Amino acid sequence: MTGGVPGLRPSLRGKAPGLALEREIWEGGARTVVGMDEVGRGAWAGPLTVGAAVLPPDRRVYKVRDSKMLNEEEREALFGRVAGWCRAWATGHASPEECDALGMSEAQRLAARRALESLGVAPDAVLVDGAWDFVGGARSVVRGDASCLSIAAASILAKVTRDRLMRSEAEHFPAYWFEANKGYPGPRHRAALQWLGPSAIHRRSWVFMEALAWPGVERFERPGFQRVLFPATAGRRQTEVEEG
């Protein structure tokens, strides 16, 4: 270990994200380039979180990778270094209730807007991970969390922040094992849902809720939408179709 950060595992060597996109934008006259990434879209409980990171052009932090490539120890060790390296950074959240009421796409836009509003600097350009611009006016970068350094930094900031939130929720809902699964599906999480029904921080509109017991909380139905279940995906995800 160097400076408290574990050495890179062999599988991660040679897979560093770069600054090519940021440099292209800086050279065009922009100064504040924001990288953004989300985490929690596929979770069954807890918030959807979007991270935003503004990197300095003249300093680097090494060992940064897409947060999905790193284990929890590596992400936690890097978090402070990445946060201290950024010119500015922030996270924004959409609550489980907002995910239910708005749907996941609108909830992601809301969390992204909150992250940008919390940065304290006005962006000249925004880079977002994936094929969908969830900000509006941003540049979408497919697999940006693996190839673009500012997006990779945002992915670590978002993932660690959300994981810490879910670990803090675990003490209130011990049966769901949130300290380990962070609200994502897994055998123990599924078993707890079948046994106890959903907790106060579960997303109650999702299709996996259909067959559960509902002790003490109400099922959420978003007005104006019809739930369509496809056999190949039933139990894993839902497709919503607007009525009328």
% of the chain at pLDDT higher than 70: 84
pLDDT at 8 over 80: no
- Token duo for residue 140: 């979408």
- Token duo for residue 29: 């006259």
Q: State the DSSP string of 204-221.
A: TTSGGGTTS--SSSPPP-
Point out the least confidently predicted range of 57-66, 68-77, 177-186. Answer: 57-66
Q: What is the mean pLDDT of the chain?
A: 86
Question: Can you give the pLDDT at residue 168?
Answer: 97
Q: Which residues of 101-128 are buried (b: 16+ CB within 10 A; e: fewer)?
A: ebebeebbbbbbbbbbeebeeebebbbb
Confidence of residue 195 (pLDDT cuts 50, 70, 90): confident
% of the chain at pLDDT higher than 90: 67
Question: Can you give the pLDDT at residue 15?
Answer: 81
Fold category of 10-170 in CATH:
Nucleotidyltransferase; domain 5 (3.30.420)
Q: Is 237 helix (H, G, I), strand (E, B) or coil?
A: coil
Q: Where are the domains of the chain?
A: 10-170, 174-242
Q: Tell me how far apart the alpha carbons of residues 38 and 109 are, in angstroms, rounded to a whole number.
A: 10
Q: Return the axis-axis angle of helices 72-85 and 149-170, rounded to nearest 10°.
A: 120
pLDDT at 227 over 60: no
